[in-house]
Amino acid sequence: MTGDDDRRIVGAAELFDLTGKVALVAGGSRGMGREMVLAFAEAGADVVISSRKLDNCEVVATEVRERHEREALAVSAHSGRWEDMDMLAAAAYDRFGHVDVLVNNAGMSPLYPSLVDVTEDLYDKVLAVNLKGPFRLSALVGTRMAAGDGGSIINVSSTGSLRPTPTETPYAAAKAGLNAITVAMAHAFGPKVRVNCIVPGPFLTDISKAWDMEAFEERARTSMALQRGGQAEEIVGAALYLASAASSFTTGALLRVDGGVP
C-alpha cells in the first residue's frame, strides 16, 4: 500500500504512541494493572508501578526494562492511605518531573456472609482502597497536570457500580463513588486533563480465585453476550485508547469492558 494509505496507517499508529510520556499505575503489579504497565511501556512510556508489596512491583519494573527498554520506578504504597498517595505522587515527580497518565487500578472486594456481618473495619478498608486513595491521588496529580502540559487520568471501576448486588455492596458503593469523581474531576481539571473510567465486567484475575467457577461459567453462558470472563490482557485496548491522543475528545466517560453483561 502506498500514498494516502500509508499516511493513514502511520497516523493511526501515532494516535496511540506514548513516547516521552510517564504513566503511573496504582495497583500495577499484577492482573490488569500489570498488563496496562507493559502496554504503556511498549507504546513508549516510562512507568511508575505501585502496590503494597515492593517486591512484586520490582518484578514488573524489571520486566519493563528488559522487554521494552523503558525506565521503570517501583514504589510500595497502600492505596487506602492518604499519606501513601502523597508519597507516591511525590516519588513519581521527583524521579521523572512529570506524570502524563495516571491509572487508579488498585481495588479490593472481600467476601462476607451477609450485610449485617460487614464490620466497620472491612467497610472502611473497602471504601479507602477503592475510593479514598484514588480521590487523593487524582487530586494531587490532576492539579499538577492541569498546571502543566495536561494529561489523562483513568479510573478503574466495576459493572457492580452500575448493577450492585448484595454480595458486593460496599465495593459497589465505592466504585459508584469512583464513577462520580470521574465526571466531577473531568470538569475540575479540563480542558487540559481528560478524566475517564473503565468499567470492567468479570475478569479472570486473582480476584476470581474466590469464585465458584462452575456457577460463574454457567451464568456467563446464559447471560453474557460473549459467554465468558475476560482475560487480564483484554483491558489493554481500552487503557491505551484512554491514555493516548486517540481519545482526545473523550472525557468524563464510563467505558464498559464487560463481555456484554446485561
pLDDT digits (tens, 9 = 90+) for 41-91: 999 999 999 999 999 999 999 999 999 999 999 999 999 999 999 999 999
225 CB-near residues (< 8 Å, 6+ apart): 259, 260
Residue 7 has pLDDT above 80, yes or no: no
pLDDT, residue 8, reads 54
The total number of residues shown for the chain amounts to: 262
Please report the pLDDT score of residue 220 as a whole number: 86
Give CA–CA dist 71/99, Å, rounded.
13
Task: Give the mean pLDDT of the chain.
Answer: 93
Percent of the chain whose pLDDT exceeds 70: 95
* Torsion 50-56-60-61 (CA) sign: positive
Query: What's the average model confidence in pLDDT over 88-99?
Result: 98
Instruction: State residue 262's pLDDT score.
Output: 85
Q: Where are the domains of the chain?
A: 21-257
Region 236-256: mean pLDDT is: 98
pLDDT at 1: 38
Residue 9: the pLDDT is 53
Amino acid 19: pLDDT: 97
Q: What is the DSSP letter of 235?
A: G
**pTM for the structure as a whole:** 0.93
pLDDT at 49: 98
> Is the pLDDT at 153 greater than 90, yes or no?
yes
Question: Which CATH number fits the domain 21-257, given the four candidates 1.20.120.1200, 3.90.1200.10, 3.40.50.11720, 3.40.50.720?
Answer: 3.40.50.720
171 catalytically annotated: yes
Residue in 93, 112, 123, 171 annotated catalytic: 171
Query: CA-CA distance, 170 to 130, in Å (whole number)?
Result: 10
Secondary structure of residue 69 in the 3-state scheme? coil
Amino acid present at 173: A
Check pLDDT > 50 for residue 2: no
Strands (E), the chain: 22-26, 46-51, 72-76, 101-104, 151-156, 193-200, 254-257
Q: What mean pLDDT comes out for the span 150-158?
A: 98
Report how far residue 144's alpha carbon sits from residue 134's, in angstroms, rounded to the nearest whole number: 15
Whether 141 shows a pLDDT value over 90: the answer reads yes
- Res 48: pLDDT: 98
Per-residue pLDDT tens digits for 200-237:
998 988 776 666 777 888 888 888 999 998 999 999 99
Q: Would you place residue 196 in the very low, low, confident or very high pLDDT band (cuts 50, 70, 90)?
A: very high
How are beta strands 22-26 and 151-156 bridged, if at all?
unpaired
Whether residue 115 is predicted with pLDDT greater than 90 in this model: the reply is yes
- pLDDT over threshold 80, residue 39: yes
